[in-house]
Structure 1
Amino acid sequence: MVIAQYVVMIFKSHWQMGQSLNKLIFNPENKFIIATTIVVGLLLGLQSLQVTWQRQQLQETAGILGNLAKWGMGNYAVNQAVTNPEELAFHRRERAILFMDIRGFTQWCEQTDPDMVAKVLNLYYRSVEPAAAQYQPLRITLTADEIMAIYASPSEAIGAARAMQQAAHPILSSHQLGAGCALHYGNVIEGLFGSEDVRTYTVIGDVVNTAKRLESATPAGEITISDAVYQLIQGQLEVEPRAPISAKGKAKPLKAWRLVLP
Structure 2
Amino acid sequence: MAADSATRKILIVDDDWLNRDLLEAYLTDAGYECATASDGNEALRLATASPPDLVLCDVQMPRMSGYDVCRALKNDPATQFVPVVMVTALDSDDEKLRAVEAGADDFVTKPFNSILLLTRVRSLLRIKLLHDQVEARNRLLREVLTRYLAEEVADIILTDPERHLKLGGETRPVTVLFADIRGFTAFTARHTAQEVVETLNQIFSELTRVVFAHRGTFDKFIGDAVMAFWGAPLASPDDALNAVKAAVEMRGVFIDLCQRSGGRLSGLGLCIGVNTGEATVGNIGSEKVMDYTIIGDTVNVCKRLQEAATGGEILISEATRARLGDRVRAERREPITVHGRLEPVAAYGVGEVVGDG
TM-score computed with the length of structure 1 as normaliser: 0.74
Which residue number in structure 2 is paired with residue 157 of structure 1? 243
2-side partners of 1:163 and 1:231: how far apart? Answer: 20
For residues 216-231 of structure 1, the aligned pairs below 5 Å read: 216-231=307-322
CA deviation after TM superposition for structure 1 residue 171, in Å: 1.9
2-side partners of 1:61 and 1:260: how far apart? Answer: 44
Greater C-alpha radius of gyration: 1
Q: Unaligned 5+ residue runs, structure 2?
A: 1-11, 37-49, 54-127, 232-238
Higher RCO, Cα 8 Å, sep 6+: 1
1:168 maps to amino acid: F
1-side partners of 2:318 and 2:339: how far apart? Answer: 18
Question: Which moved further from structure 2: 73-82 or 107-116?
Answer: 73-82
CA deviation after TM superposition for structure 1 residue 218, in Å: 0.6
Which residue number in structure 2 is paired with residue 45 of structure 1? 33
2-side partners of 1:147 and 1:199: how far apart? Answer: 19
Q: Does 1:166 align with 2:260?
A: no
2-side partners of 1:229 and 1:39: how far apart? Answer: 66
**CA contact 1:189–1:205 (8 Å) conserved in 2:** yes
Fraction of identical pairs, as percent: 24
Q: CA RMSD in A?
A: 3.7
Equivalent residue of 1:232, what SS? coil
For residues 4-153 of structure 1, the aligned pairs below 5 Å read: 5=18, 40=28, 44-45=32-33, 63-71=139-147, 76=153, 79-80=156-157, 82-83=159-160, 85-88=162-165, 89-152=168-231, 153=239
Equivalent residue of 1:215, what SS? helix
2-side partners of 1:81 and 1:45: how far apart? Answer: 33
Q: Deviations over 1:78-102 (max 9, x none)?
A: 8436416335552221111111010
**Structure with the largest fraction of helix:** 1
For residues 232-251 of structure 1, the aligned pairs below 5 Å read: 232-251=323-342
Q: Unaligned 5+ residue runs, structure 1?
A: 9-32
Equivalent residue of 1:162, what SS? helix
Q: Deviations over 1:112-154 (max 9, x none)?
A: 1111111111111221211121111134433332111111321
CA deviation after TM superposition for structure 1 residue 46, in Å: 7.0
**Structure with the largest fraction of strand:** 2
1:158 maps to amino acid: V
Match of 2:279 among 177, 188, 202: 188
**CA contact 1:70–1:78 (8 Å) conserved in 2:** no
